[in-house]
Every structure is written in C-alpha cells, then in structure tokens.
C-alpha cells in the first residue's frame, strides 16, 4: 500500500511540474507575441513619420523664401497653409507633398505636429528655417502612461538614424543622432513629455538642395561662363566689365522687328532699330568719297562706311566738290556725300 501511495505522490508532482512549465511557456509566448506586435507598430510608426518628414522637407524647400520673410501666422495662407509654422498633414496632402491616399494618422492613431523653427536674422534672407516633426504623445503601454522603452528603441532603429526622442535623463532636449533641439522647441510651446519621438529637417540636410530658386535674392556670383539658349531679360541696368560682342548683323536702312534693338552693321558700326528701320547708332550718316579721272578710286578716297567709292544701301551720292581738269596731269577730282 505504501508503494501505491508513493507512486500517486510522484504522479501528482510530475503533473504539477508539467502544468507549471506549460503555463510559463504560454506566458512567455504571449509576451513574445505582444512584443512583436509592439515592435511592428513602432516600425510602422517610424515609416509613416518618415514620409511626413519628407513632406516637411519639400515644404521648406519649396517655400523657403516665403518662410524666411513671414512675420504673421497667415502670411502664406495664399499658399494653402493656415499657419506657416505648423503645416498639417492634411495641408501637405492638399499641396501634393503627400499622396492623396496617405493616412493622416499613423498606426494606433499616432498623430504628429510639424513645427517649423526659425533662427538667425528673421524675417530676412539670412533667416535659417528648419522643422521638427514630433509625435503628439509619448510611446507608452496601451493601458498606462508609462513609457514603453522597448517600443521607443524599436522606433529609433526603424528611423535609421533620422529619429530622436525625449528621455527622462534629458527631459529638456529633443535629440537624436542627426539633430538636437531644446525642449520646448520654441518659446510659447509646451514641453514635450518623455517618450515623445521625433524627426527633423535641419539646415545641414537642406544644404544638399541649396540651389537658386525662382525670385531668389542671393547673388549667385558665377565664376565661369554662362550659356543661355533663350532670351535674357533684365529689369534693371546691365553692367559689363569686359567687351560686348554682337553676333546679330543687319543692313542700314533695312526693316527691323522691334524698336530699341541693337545690331552690328554689315559695313561696321552699330545699328539701332528706330521706327522699325535700322539706323546708325552714332548718327554718322552715309559717309563720303572721292574719285579721280586719272587714278579712279584709290585708298585714301574710300568711303569709310562702305570701304569703297560708294554709298551704303539706302543712301544716294551727291556731288559736293570738283577740282582740277580732265586735261591736266593730275586729272579731275570729284567729291561726293552720301545722304538718305
């Protein structure tokens, strides 16, 4: 009988151990499942916020001049933004900086604020424009306000170096591998709680697209030749330190298309279009020349305008002088003036 009772005791003990192990495995498995779900949510949130960050990047790149000069919150309302310092996800979508189907909230209802930050001499062309994109709440456990450190870590890993956070150790900074801002990010704003995750658009990142823009006020100071295929229009004076060469050539007294155009004459000199006719820019007229009955037209008697004993097109020769005699050894010399 004692042997039977001993066997029953061992069976109950073995069953208890087996149940305990099964329970531990179930708890561990459930915990792993929850952790994986949280990790997936953190990664999805990072990908979603990265898209918002790229939209903020494009927003600053597209409207940098307006953002530098803005003084009131509604100064860029005509561009579709109620407050230039806090463009919403919906406004970025409406502007085409996010696709029309982009969700306005991340996984589990995650919301973000795009906060435009300025520094330096603002408003003005030397104003630095950056942006902080941060979650509106800390990443925490579903049923509490306790920060989920593992979820924050997964989010930072998924952000691939572009992410940052507010930590309990440094509650007065919003910092990541590529940026750091004070917390609160600007005067008049509330401090972000620990566990808040963020991304940024910084001056260094914007420098890669620091090219000239429409209505840019900066002097490009090009250090080499510039080739332009179309017309160049200046709304102020044009100053040239070197020579000005004109390839356009026209004939004096011929028709032209637009008054005030300038061209070089086919016989030398400059022509200006006046009343749709090419006329000499210097008012030199048609010049003059002389011929001799013995020597004819020789160097020294040429018309300086045509380089020959002739008048330019549109001018006629009028005899204004005559000397000598056909019978004389020096011959008869006649002088002509070209008039229009």
Asked if 39 and 152 sit in the same domain, the reply is yes
Domain boundary among 155, 186, 208: 208
For 238-250, the pLDDT digits (tens) are 888 888 888 888 8
If you average pLDDT over each of 60-69, 82-91, 211-220, 305-314, which comes out highest? Answer: 82-91
CA distances from 19 to 8, 12, 283 (A): 17, 10, 114
Question: Across-strand partners of 280?
Answer: 271
Q: In what helix (H) or strand (E) does residue 218 lie, and over which residues does it extend?
A: none
Asked if 174 and 293 sit in the same domain, the reply is no
pLDDT at residue 232, as a whole number: 86
Q: What is the mean pLDDT of the chain?
A: 84
Q: For 169, which DSSP code?
A: S
pLDDT at residue 85, as a whole number: 94
Whether 111 maps to a domain, the answer reads yes
Could you tell me the sign of the dihedral formed by the alpha carbons of 14, 15, 20, 23, in that order?
positive
Asked if 253 and 299 sit in the same domain, the reply is no
Query: Around 218, how many Cα atoms within 13 Å sit in the side-chain half-sphere?
Result: 15
Asked if 160 and 301 sit in the same domain, the reply is no
pLDDT at residue 26, as a whole number: 59
For 179-231, the pLDDT digits (tens) are 999 999 998 899 999 999 999 999 888 886 666 667 666 677 777 888 888 88
Could you tell me the sign of the dihedral formed by the alpha carbons of 269, 272, 275, 278, in that order?
positive
Whether 296 maps to a domain, the answer reads yes
Asked if 169 and 259 sit in the same domain, the reply is no
Whether 70 maps to a domain, the answer reads yes
Asked if 187 and 308 sit in the same domain, the reply is no
For 1-31, the pLDDT digits (tens) are 555 455 555 567 666 666 677 666 555 554 5
CA atoms of 95 and 80, how far apart (whole Å): 7
Whether 21 maps to a domain, the answer reads no
CA atoms of 252 and 234, how far apart (whole Å): 27
Domain count, the chain: 3
CA atoms of 163 and 193, how far apart (whole Å): 16
Could you tell me the sign of the dihedral formed by the alpha carbons of 199, 202, 206, 207, in that order?
negative
Whether 17 maps to a domain, the answer reads no
For 49-58, the pLDDT digits (tens) are 999 999 999 9
Domain residue limits at 133: 26-208
pLDDT at residue 52, as a whole number: 95
Q: What count of other Cβ atoms lies within 10 Å of the Cβ of residue 114?
A: 23
Whether 15 maps to a domain, the answer reads no
Asked if 41 and 157 sit in the same domain, the reply is yes
Token look-up 């008869």 returns: 332
Whether 73 maps to a domain, the answer reads yes
- Give one word for 163, left, alpha or beta, with left for phi > 0 and alpha for psi -120 to 50: beta
Q: Is the pLDDT of residue 152 over 80?
A: yes
When pLDDT is cut at 50, 70 and 90, the band that residue 291 belongs to is very high
Q: For 48, which DSSP code?
A: H
pLDDT at residue 326, as a whole number: 85
Asked if 151 and 87 sit in the same domain, the reply is yes
CA atoms of 69 and 82, how far apart (whole Å): 16
Asked if 67 and 112 sit in the same domain, the reply is yes
Compute the average pLDDT of residues 156-178.
92
CA atoms of 74 and 80, how far apart (whole Å): 10
Asked if 33 and 163 sit in the same domain, the reply is yes
Asked if 269 and 334 sit in the same domain, the reply is no
Best CA proximity match to 70, nearest among 78, 190, 181? 78
Whether 155 maps to a domain, the answer reads yes
CA atoms of 141 and 192, how far apart (whole Å): 18
Strands 262-265 and 249-250 come out as: parallel
Domain boundary among 154, 181, 208: 208
Q: For 227, which DSSP code?
A: -
Domain boundary among 185, 208, 231: 208
Asked if 259 and 180 sit in the same domain, the reply is no
């Amino acid at each position: 009988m004692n042997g039977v009772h001993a066997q029953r005791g061992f069976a109950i003990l073995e069953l208890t151990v087996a149940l305990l192990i099964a329970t531990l495995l179930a708890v561990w498995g459930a915990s792993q499942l929850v952790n994986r779900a949280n990790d997936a949510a953190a990664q999805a949130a990072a990908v979603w916020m990265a898209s918002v960050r790229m939209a903020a990047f494009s927003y600053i790149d597209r409207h940098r001049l307006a953002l530098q000069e803005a003084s009131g919150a509604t100064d860029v309302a005509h561009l579709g933004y109620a407050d230039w310092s806090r463009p919403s996800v919906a406004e970025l979508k409406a502007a085409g900086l996010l696709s029309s189907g982009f969700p306005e909230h991340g996984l589990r209802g995650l919301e973000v604020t795009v906060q435009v930050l300025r520094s330096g001499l603002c408003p003005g062309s030397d104003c630095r424009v950056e942006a902080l994109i941060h979650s509106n709440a800390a990443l925490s456990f579903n049923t509490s306000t306790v920060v989920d450190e593992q979820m924050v870590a997964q989010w930072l890993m998924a952000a691939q170096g572009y992410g940052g956070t507010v930590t309990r150790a440094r509650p007065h900074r919003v910092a990541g591998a590529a940026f750091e801002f004070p917390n609160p990010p600007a005067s008049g704003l509330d401090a972000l709680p620990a566990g808040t995750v963020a991304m940024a658009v910084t001056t260094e990142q914007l420098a890669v697209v620091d090219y000239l823009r429409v209505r840019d006020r900066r002097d490009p100071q090009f250090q080499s030749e510039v080739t332009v295929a179309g017309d160049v229009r200046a709304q102020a004076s044009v100053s040239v330190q070197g020579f000005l060469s004109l390839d356009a050539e026209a004939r004096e007294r011929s028709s032209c298309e637009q008054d005030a155009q300038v061209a070089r004459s086919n016989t030398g000199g400059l022509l200006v279009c006046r009343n749709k006719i090419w006329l000499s820019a210097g008012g030199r007229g048609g010049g003059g020349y002389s011929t001799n009955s013995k020597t004819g037209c020789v160097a020294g008697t040429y018309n300086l305008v045509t380089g020959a004993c002739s008048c330019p097109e549109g001018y006629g020769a009028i005899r204004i002088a005559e000397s000598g005699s056909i019978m004389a050894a020096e011959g008869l010399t006649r002088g002509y003036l070209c008039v229009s």
